[in-house]
Structure 1
Amino acid sequence: MRPALLRMAIRYLEDSDEAEDAVQDALLKLWFLRDRLDQYRSVDALAIVITKHLCINRLRGTRIEKVDLEQGISIGGGENPEMKLVEEENMQEILEVIGTLPDLQQSILRMKHLEGFEVEEIARLTGSTPVAVRTNLSRARKRVKPQIRN
């Protein structure tokens, strides 16, 4: 379970040390919940959700943009700032629409498209079948697609 959580945390945080801290915090939370884990259908899915929320909280708390000093700061070159802003707005809109989905569809869609998990791995983590995962992915996509402007 820990390697999958660490991969996910690294995708979110883009920093292996921060990701390691987030995973440790998630496992600690699971430890404190150990007496109530039988209430959850899948401990793996719970661990993923806890880790995801911890990563998002860390991202909200960190608003400092990292700069690679070896690359330096380019003036007047590189990516168009207007395009970058439009892409960020589009991503924010997509995330807001995804946030309106039922929890299971939301989690499955994020695991598949944002975190890069395979259907079989998502099924194992959520305690469902690959067919159910594909069905939920299809339903989620059908709900998201019409709400996103072109």
Structure 2
Amino acid sequence: MVALNFEFLKFPKLFNELSMKPQQMEVGGETWKSPLILLNTATCGVLYKVSCSSNQRIEIDDCADILLPGNETSVPFRRKAGDSNANDDLTVLYCLVVRQWRSEGASALRCLARVKKQNVMTKRKIIKTVQIAKAENTRVSGDDENESPPFKKERSTFHFCSFRTY
């Protein structure tokens, strides 16, 4: 008897229900900070993991989570002091998860381990950083009261970041 795996869902054709803003980061100076905004408009949960091209130069907070349907989250990251001429990229890996991973006790770390073990199909989006001339880029989007947020301000429930990048 063959057991069917219903922990993870296949991506429907033309899946575009995980929105990311901005599509490209414009950064300047030796150090800077900026958020990556993720919005799940799908009817199922989305497991995501944000990694960077250099852990020595970029620090990411809340780099993995299970984003519930209709929710938005902000993944803050910052450039540490160092080689300001190096170009760094962020990579967002994500897959669709079923209801069992959306419960209060669900762990993004455990879910990612299952994804890796079962060789589940994931999608990837690369966010490039583009160096601009010496600019004041230490302001985090949303700090200005007059600035409208890109999505509604709801956060997902689960946060975890300490695991190995694969």
Q: When the two structures are superposed, what TM-score results if normalisation uses the length of structure 1? A: 0.24
Structure with greater strand percent: 2
Which one has the largest radius of gyration?
1
Query: Larger RCO: Structure 1 or Structure 2 (Cα < 8 Å, ≥ 6 residues apart)?
Result: 2
Q: TM-score, normalised by structure 2?
A: 0.23
Larger helix share, 1 or 2: 1
